[in-house]
Chains A and B, each alone.
Chain A
Amino acid sequence: EVQLVQSGGGLVQPGGSLRLSCVASGFTFSNSWMGWVRQAPGKGLEWVANINQPGSVKKYVDSVEGRFTTSRDNAKNSLNLQMDTLRVDDTAVYYCARVDVFNNGWYDYWGQGILVTVSS
């Protein structure tokens, strides 16, 4: 069974940092692109970032470029999102998700989501 288990959310002040983690099981993690999608309270889904299998290609939405960094550790089946210089409008539930096995671009498995609140 494919599982993505997230951790690391919480409350942080504007300008602060937070690191999210996502541990995968039930599939060969090193074979899959992975991604992050967020959802502000009461709002729709917003793509945040994707990372390729070895971690050498990373794509970001413009609004987080230069502030967020995604990485992965294939030996530990883990995906990370380092969020720096956080802003109030980064407040959202963050989901990690697996890109389909053929890397076409849809997300076939999702983590449970974790809330990040940026507030003073």
Chain B
Amino acid sequence: KAGVTQTPRYLIKTRGQQVTLSCSPISGHRSVSWYQQTPGQGLQFLFEYFSETQRNKGNFPGRFSGRQFSNSRSEMNVSTLELGDSALYLCASSLDPATNEKLFFGSGTQLSVL
């Protein structure tokens, strides 16, 4: 079974631009979560989707948005990029629809904002 796939692996953008990151969950997993990881703050929850609906959202500005498609694939978008958005963005999928027990993470997209 293929794992969680995130594309692209690396991305370099400049301030003010926008970016879209993609995540394909493990086949059969319907819950997809997104996290931002930085050296100073660690892993911080962005949002979680299940059956194309956002179930929960972390404490991030509205510039961060996401969506989930009918095949469970998910995208997240960051608009008007700031230097502080440089981070590793991780997507995770989960089999259990009721909880986030046992998340399976992708290798992430390393975003650098110049």
Check if A and B associate. no
Binding site for B on A (CB under 8 A): none
Binding site for A on B (CB under 8 A): none
